[in-house]
Amino acid sequence: MNPVLAQIEKIGIVPVIRIDDVEHAVPLAKALAAGGIPCAEITFRTAHGVEAIRRITAQCPDVLTGAGTVTSTQQVDQAIDAGAKFVVSPGFNPKVVRYCLDKGMPITPGCSTTSDLEQALEFGLEAVKFFPAEQSGGLDYIKAVSAPYNTLRFMPTGGISAGNIAKYLAFDKIIACGGSWMVKPELLQTGKFDEVTRLCKEALGAVLGFSLAHVGLHAENREEALRAAKLFEAMFGFKSKEGDRAVFAGTYVEVTKAPEMGKHGHIAIATASVLRARAFLERQGFAFREDTLELDKNGNPTAIYLQDEILGFAIHLQK
């Protein structure tokens, strides 16, 4: 996948932003980054789009910034000159798509019909914007058309909210969702950038879906593990169930049959996406042990340990 699209997938959310006052651009970008979403699609719906992109890319280089509502080759040139890293268009304009590809600029054109999708395949695109998403059939439509067009992936935009974004992103053909609920114009106009940050954190929480999966206790051998699990069952009614490498007592207690990572044990944190959770934590400065990475048959990450322990407990993500 194109490196920019891969970066967008790791973030999972693309805020779609209308700038009516260019002075709001940099404070907004900082608010997005503080909320854990270092990405911005600045639309060309106003005359301030180009300058907003220019300021954000200059002053907030860690925020992945693209141009949205691009409908002409002239606007593509303006976006490139301002420093945009990607282009999004509301519809499929073959001239604009070809121009972007010739310039080496990633573009996700708007598609809402199978004819649009066939054009995207003809141009060799990896991903398209599905727009307007909810009004065009939503997730059910994407699932239906992804079978015959299984090499394409989607970025739904239109009607996406904190209430449905997790449902969309749970489908592996979706690289990210575009949305504007966390960057509504009235929030920018009134300078409520703290509220932008709060809404971003709320959206990211829905996307990552962190929860406790289990706590791992490390026995020396199978017999010790079985005894420990049976004690939890006797005391609390947590039914024991033996597996290949561990014995579970109920849902949240795992007793391994041999010592594993972690001085005192390990804690498994469930997440909706190991890929996005890892990227989020790495942006916060946390490191991972690459030798512990587990992949499914399609090459998607399903588990990985963080490098550092917490009070002698190793921590790992799992899907």
* The pLDDT value given to residue 43: 98
Average pLDDT over residues 255-278: 97
- pLDDT value of position 139: 96
Q: Domain 211-318: which CATH class?
A: alpha beta
Using CA atoms, how far apart are residues 90 and 72, in angstroms rounded to an integer? Answer: 11
Q: Phi then psi for 86, rounded to 5 degrees?
A: -155, 165
The C-alpha atoms of residue 238 and residue 46 are separated, in whole angstroms, by 60
Sign of the C-alpha dihedral, residues 128, 134, 138, 139? positive
Q: Does the active-site annotation cover 257? A: no
- Give the pTM: 0.94
What's the distance, CA 284 to chain centroid? 15
Q: Is the pLDDT of residue 261 over 90?
A: yes
Residue 94 — pLDDT band, cuts 50, 70, 90? Answer: very high
Q: What is the pLDDT of residue 160?
A: 96
Residue 122 has pLDDT above 90, yes or no: yes
pLDDT for position 128: 98
pLDDT at 226 over 90: yes
Output the pLDDT for position 150.
Answer: 87
**Pairwise CA distance, residues 113 & 108, whole Å:** 15
Residue 117 has pLDDT above 90, yes or no: yes
Q: Which two tokens stand for residue 196?
A: 């932008």
Q: Is the pLDDT of residue 201 over 90?
A: yes
Question: What does the pLDDT average to over 257-277?
Answer: 97
| Helix or strand run (H / E) with residue 97 | helix 94-103
pLDDT of 133 over the 90 cut: yes
Whether 192 is a known active-site residue: answer: no
Region 79-102 average pLDDT: 98
Catalytic residue from among 10, 30, 129, 173: 129
Over residues 95-122, mean pLDDT: 97
Q: How high does pLDDT run on average in the chain?
A: 97
Please state, in angstroms and as integers, the Cα–Cα distance from residue 60 to each residue in 32, 35, 63, following that order. 11, 14, 6
Tell me, what's the pLDDT at 50? 98
Residue-level pLDDT at 215: 98
Query: Is the per-residue pLDDT at 271 higher than 90?
Result: yes
The one-letter amino acid code at 51 reads: E
Place of tokens 């954000």: 56
Q: Where are the domains of the chain?
A: 3-207, 211-318
Task: Please tell me the distance from the alpha carbon of residue 54 to that of residue 26, in angstroms, as a whole number.
Answer: 10
Res. 276 pLDDT band, cuts 50 70 90: very high
Class of the CATH domain delimited by 3-207 = alpha beta
- pLDDT-above-70 percentage for the chain: 100
pLDDT average, residue stretch 262-290: 97
**Of residues 9, 41, 85, 173, which has the active-site annotation?**
41
Tens digit of each residue's pLDDT (9 = 90 or more) over 17-64: 999 999 999 999 999 999 999 999 999 999 999 999 999 999 999 999
Q: Which two tokens stand for residue 206?
A: 């829905």
